[in-house]
Amino acid sequence: MSAGRFITLEGIEGAGKSTSLEFIQRQLRSVGIPHLVTREPGGTDLGEALREILLHRNRTGICVDSELLLMFAARAQHLDERIRPALEDGSWVVCDRFTDATYAYQGGGRGVPDERIRILENWVQGELRPDLTLLFDIPVDQGLARAGKRSAPDRFEREQQEFFERVRRHYLAAAACEPSRIRVIDGALTPDQVQDRIRVILQEFLP
């Protein structure tokens, strides 16, 4: 049995990750590839409980280090309970956000040095890294306008535009450093155009 592939989706809010996740799921199903679709923070009972804490709009006063450590606590559980077992079984894993989000939000957004995040990344993940990361890039005002049409903003969505500009810059810098893993897709394209881009990239990875 071939090893599963680990694909992550990243971008600022409203960039189109969730929409694209459904498309990827349909693509994998159509070629009969077993796969797990999951998200971070979350994906396990503990992870979803931590997500509730991390995102709740009234949960003010979480300090930066607590936020960082809770993201990695959720991730450790997720890897142990779901991601590693799925990959070892030969399933593909498609995850809405992973550690690139930590570099972008806690690093770029909150100012945690990359080296500190890297220590936790190595500790919690060991050698495991995504095989492919799709970074949906969109100007911040467009992403926020899309996201703003939905429910009340969560704790992250209440941040100011400059926070998301830093997050976006951090994501793009990461993609420039690792262009073969992190593929940038213009999230402002039409849904059909975005799907065409994803289809082409996935072809490289499909057996």
Which residues form the interface with ligand Z5A (CB under 6 A)? Answer: 11, 13-19, 40-41, 55, 71, 96-97, 101-102, 105-106, 146-147, 156-157, 189-191, 194
Q: Smallest distance from the beta carbon of 68 to ligand Z5A, in angstroms?
A: 8
Q: Smallest distance from the beta carbon of 188 to ligand Z5A, in angstroms?
A: 7
In the chain, alpha helices (H): 17-30, 45-55, 64-78, 84-88, 99-101, 114-125, 140-148, 161-177, 191-205
Beta carbons of 90 and 34 less than 8 angstroms apart? yes
Q: In terms of C-beta density within 10 A (0-12 exposed, 13-18 middle, 19 or more buried), how is residue 33 classed?
A: middle
DSSP letter assigned to residue 162: H
Question: What are the phi and psi torsion angles at 82 (to 5°)?
Answer: -130, -50
6 vs 105, which CB is nearer to ligand Z5A?
105
Q: Smallest distance from the beta carbon of 196 to ligand Z5A, in angstroms?
A: 11
List all residues 6 or more positions away from 38 whose beta carbon is below 8 Å from its beta carbon: 78, 82, 83, 93, 94, 95, 96
Q: Smallest distance from the beta carbon of 10 to ligand Z5A, in angstroms?
A: 9
Query: What is the distance between the alpha carbons of residues 77 and 84, in angstroms, rounded to a whole number?
Result: 10
3 vs 200, which CB is nearer to ligand Z5A?
200
40 vs 171, which CB is nearer to ligand Z5A?
40
Beta carbons of 94 and 25 less than 8 angstroms apart? yes
169 vs 207, which CB is nearer to ligand Z5A?
169
91 vs 106, which CB is nearer to ligand Z5A?
106
Q: Smallest distance from the beta carbon of 31 to ligand Z5A, in angstroms?
A: 23
Q: Smallest distance from the beta carbon of 192 to ligand Z5A, in angstroms?
A: 8
* Cis before 41 (ω within 30): yes
34 vs 126, which CB is nearer to ligand Z5A?
126
